[in-house]
Structure 1
Amino acid sequence: MLRSLYVTLIYFAFVILGVAAPFAFSLGYVWVDTFTPQNVAYSIITQIPVSMVMAGLAIGGYLVFDRRSPPPISLNLILVLLFAVWVTITTFFFAVSPQSALVKWDWALKTLLFSAFIPFVIRSRVQIEAFLQVYLFALTVHFMPVGLKTMVAGGGYGMSLGVVGGNSGLSEGSTLAAVALMMLPIILYLRQHTVLLPKNTVTNVLYIGVAVTTLTCAVGTFARTGLIGMAVVGIALFLRTRHKVIVGLAGVAVLAGLLLLTSDAWNDRISTVTTYQTEDSAMSRILVWRWTLGFAADHPLGGGFNSYEVNEIHFQALDGSFETVVMRSKAFHSIYFEVLGEQGFPGLALFLGLMISTFLSLRRVARWARVTPGMEWLRDLAYALEVSLLTMMACGAFIGVAFQPMLYYLFALSTCLSHQMHRLRTGAATVPAGRAGAATAVPILARRAGVKPQA
């Protein structure tokens, strides 16, 4: 009961904050979408259509109170909207599994449209950081228990270690490991540049603790995707830093500490990366990717959402018995093959275009901020989002999360940074003069966000 009451109070806190600062309604939607309070609480909030209500408040709050300085039309916005149109066309005209496709279309379309909406309401440095802090807060609830349990007793593949059960979304080990590592560069950015929280020993220790927990969470899931993500993050951060010796030594120390946490079971699981030919899970992914290429050749415009449900793959057993195994409805397990199989070559072109456009946009922001005094925060955030995007692009090659929010939040944030750079260059935005020690207060947050509190 106490858990339900606590979660419900957080939900209504976003509603109250949104009355003074309408962009907070959008933060509330991010929290609901990520934390999924209806799956965590036992009562009270489970009776409320939390996502629909918060989405309505976010859109209504913007239309009624916050329609000022709309962002210019960007390439990312055009690509996202075109993608939304295309997935709708494939769902209603090309779907090979119509009923299942309609179910996925319902939530995937919301993800696309909300990511297009974010740049309209997240317009300043304070608002961008508020978005990051809320997203981190919501995600921490998922990866913190896994990380702590791994430190105490070790993890395990396929074990339910988080607050939400099941084997989808953030309750699935590979996805959780990828998202936790995606957040690591963002955590390091917030530790150095936060303006919403006081910068002192306590917050510094908290950020470091959360960063360490993301790593132990990735290890504790026993997901091979986590190993790939750690390699990408480690290499990218090493190349970005100007203190390569210190960072290198710290990386070795962290790696040694993580190895102490691992067990023979973890080592056996990870070692299958190099022996995929004899490992059922890895080999089955390669087979379904091969099937997807053939399917795309026959359905170049895509087969609609969940088109994998029609696959039937015959292969020889890997145990030496020479028996023929039939595998049906094997999921894509890759964002690239997922989009190719479901949305065809036009959808894949739009999806890859979004990634390329986002990366180039972040590069432009970083280059401008690097030579502009006082823009260290913008430069470092652009760098952090680049690493996060690269991490998800690498990990996404082995998990099917092409339409889950994490990638689209990165796309939207890159647009927010690009718009912020434009406003700073034209004098439409100003550099904050100092830190906010009590930024959780509604009037202060509203004032710093540039939103006049509503009566």
Structure 2
Amino acid sequence: MRDLLITLIVLWILFKAVRRPAIGILGWVWISVMNPHRLAWGFAYDFPFAMMMAAVTVLGLVVTRDKRQFPVTPATVTLILFIFWMNITSLFAINFDQIYPLWSRVMKVLFMTLVAMTVLNTKQHIRWLVWTLVVSLGYYGVKGGAFTLATGGGYTVWGPEGSYIEENNSLALATIMLIPLLRYLQLTEENAWIRRGLVLAMGLCAVSAIGSYSRGALLAIVSMSVFLWFKSPRKLPLGLLMIILIPFVVAFMPQKWEDRMHTIQTYQQDSSALGRLNAWGMAWNLALDRPLVGGGF
């Protein structure tokens, strides 16, 4: 049933995308970020919906009469130069015979990013894009937060299998990045009930990140909270809310979560932390040794 429902939704978006490529981009973002097909168990699970959506969106970009104009700004020019340079450096990769899978994945995403910049050219388009991201990631953030509360934080929150956010650290990062977007919508939404729902979603996303048992997520959510507070026009109520909620959530989590977070202080004895530090050191040394072309994918 899920397979059929997802397929019907995708077919409807594909039909609309031929004439409205902006809808195709939103559909591509939804499939790529949320991975709804990974929530099914039949033929849809491995079906290349994202590739189909990208192909039809590019076709729509060619045939549509909608306004399409790539924005030439310092940021977009820098991005294009960066893409060009990644392809140049790939020719000098240390393991050239192994770069294709990652190179292909990155180039597909960046190509569709350029297409998105071309067709999403109004304020309403950008708002639709934000809502698409909020719905796509908010599903897992709200679900993960509710799961953490229902189980007393006794289990790790994971993302959908076979996706970019499957791993607990990746899902935690995504839900933390989502909170500022939820805050933006909450500040600009006119409907009071939707605003209340967005506030609830922000809280559950934070709980989901904590329930991931990711130490990086704990550091990130503290940093993000401080940043949000500095940017907020209503610092006092937001500050009071954080002062009340953060100790409550920490006290709610079980002892094994606290033990996990305390290992931040003893990272010298943790293989995971040491592995990351070694990776950073290796990347630094590689950059010094090959400053222009790096090591490749």
Q: TM-score, normalised by structure 1?
A: 0.61
Distance 1:260 1:13 in 2: 46
Aligned residue in 2 for 1:111: 109
**Structure 2 residue aligned with 1:220, among 207, 211, 215?**
211
Structure 1 residues 41 and 241, CA gap change in structure 2 (3 angstroms): same
Q: Where has structure 1 moved over 6 Å in runs of 4 or more?
A: none
Structure 1 residues 33 and 244, CA gap change in structure 2 (3 angstroms): same
Distance 1:161 1:52 in 2: 25
Q: How many residues align?
A: 296
Q: Based on CA coordinates, which of the two structures has the bigger radius of gyration? A: 1
Aligned residue in 2 for 1:206: 197
Does the aligned pair in 2 maintain the 1:222–1:269 contact within 8 Å?
yes
Distance 1:75 1:153 in 2: 48
Aligned residue in 1 for 2:182: 187
Q: TM-score, normalised by structure 2?
A: 0.91
SS of the equivalent of 1:170 reads coil
The correspondence of residues 229-308 of structure 1 with structure 2, limited to 5 A, is 229-300=220-291, 301-305=293-297
SS of the equivalent of 1:169 reads coil
Amino acid at match of 2:48: P
Distance 1:74 1:179 in 2: 27
Does the aligned pair in 1 maintain the 2:19–2:60 contact within 8 Å?
no
Structure 1 residues 25 and 263, CA gap change in structure 2 (3 angstroms): same
Higher relative contact order (CA 8 A, sep 6+): 1
**Is 1:79 aligned with 2:74?**
no
> After superposition, what is the alpha-carbon deviation per residue over 1:162-200, rounded to whole angstroms, capped at 9, x for unaligned?
4x236x621111121111111111111112313xxx713
Aligned residue in 1 for 2:161: 165
Shift of residue 137, structure 1, vs aligned partner:
1.2
> After superposition, what is the alpha-carbon deviation per residue over 1:282-315, rounded to whole angstroms, capped at 9, x for unaligned?
122222222222223332211110xxxxxxxxxx
Shift of residue 257, structure 1, vs aligned partner:
2.7
Shift of residue 222, structure 1, vs aligned partner:
0.8
Aligned residue in 2 for 1:68: 67
Distance 1:284 1:161 in 2: 21
Q: When you count helix as a share of all residues, which structure comes out higher?
A: 2
Amino acid at match of 1:165: E
Distance 1:49 1:284 in 2: 34
Distance 1:182 1:61 in 2: 30
Does the aligned pair in 2 maintain the 1:81–1:113 contact within 8 Å?
no
Amino acid at match of 1:119: M
Shift of residue 103, structure 1, vs aligned partner:
0.6
Structure 1 residues 215 and 72, CA gap change in structure 2 (3 angstroms): closer
Does the aligned pair in 1 maintain the 2:20–2:66 contact within 8 Å?
no
Amino acid at match of 2:107: L
Does the aligned pair in 2 maintain the 1:142–1:170 contact within 8 Å?
no
Does the aligned pair in 2 maintain the 1:22–1:66 contact within 8 Å?
no
**Ranges in structure 2 where 5+ consecutive residues have no aligned partner:** none
Amino acid at match of 2:38: N
Distance 1:122 1:72 in 2: 10
Amino acid at match of 1:182: M
Shift of residue 19, structure 1, vs aligned partner:
5.0
Aligned residue in 2 for 1:94: 92
Distance 1:152 1:58 in 2: 41
Structure 1 residues 229 and 70, CA gap change in structure 2 (3 angstroms): same
Does the aligned pair in 1 maintain the 2:138–2:178 contact within 8 Å?
no
Shift of residue 215, structure 1, vs aligned partner:
0.5
Shift of residue 90, structure 1, vs aligned partner:
2.4
Amino acid at match of 1:261: F
Distance 2:132 2:288 in 1: 42
Shift of residue 83, structure 1, vs aligned partner:
1.7
Aligned residue in 1 for 2:171: 176
Distance 1:85 1:156 in 2: 46
**Ranges in structure 1 where 5+ consecutive residues have no aligned partner:** 306-455
Structure 1 residues 19 and 63, CA gap change in structure 2 (3 angstroms): closer
Shift of residue 87, structure 1, vs aligned partner:
1.8
Amino acid at match of 1:199: N
Distance 1:242 1:143 in 2: 25
Shift of residue 22, structure 1, vs aligned partner:
3.0
> After superposition, what is the alpha-carbon deviation per residue over 1:328-379, rounded to whole angstroms, capped at 9, x for unaligned?
xxxxxxxxxxxxxxxxxxxxxxxxxxxxxxxxxxxxxxxxxxxxxxxxxxxx
Does the aligned pair in 1 maintain the 2:158–2:167 contact within 8 Å?
no
Shift of residue 75, structure 1, vs aligned partner:
1.6
